[in-house]
Amino acid sequence: MGFRYLLLAAAIWVGYLIVRHLLRQRLTKPKPTSPQKSVDSVQCKYCGLHLPKEEAIQDGEDHFCSIEHRDATRKQR
Ligand SMILES: [Zn+2]
């Protein structure tokens, strides 16, 4: 008879751990907006490098990682 109660107690304990785990997961849920997306990043038209918009060289609608790449794209035209 004692073994049955032990099994029941173990089942309750496991159930308690699962519920606690689920509750903790819900509490530590990450925010919907990630910090990376808040930074406005652009892509260099010449080499494809991603960089923050404020660090990029802008030429009309296009963005470049450096003046060299902007000039290189201009020479191709
Ligand atoms: Zn580049």
pTM (2 decimals)?
0.48
Instruction: Say how many Å lie between the CA of residue 55 and the centre of ligand 1.
Output: 12
- Read off the pLDDT band of 37 (50, 70, 90): low
First to last CA, the chain: 88
Position 35 scores a pLDDT of 56
Which DSSP category does 31 fall into? P
The tens digit of pLDDT for each residue in 53-71 reads 999 999 999 999 999 999 9
Instruction: Say how many Å lie between the CA of residue 76 and the centre of ligand 1.
Output: 14
Position 15 scores a pLDDT of 96
Average pLDDT over residues 32-55: 84
Instruction: Say how many Å lie between the CA of residue 36 and the centre of ligand 1.
Output: 21
Which DSSP category does 52 fall into? E
Average pLDDT over residues 34-55: 85
HSE of 1, CA atoms in CB hemisphere, 13 A: 0
Q: How far apart are CA 43 and CA 63, in angstroms?
A: 6
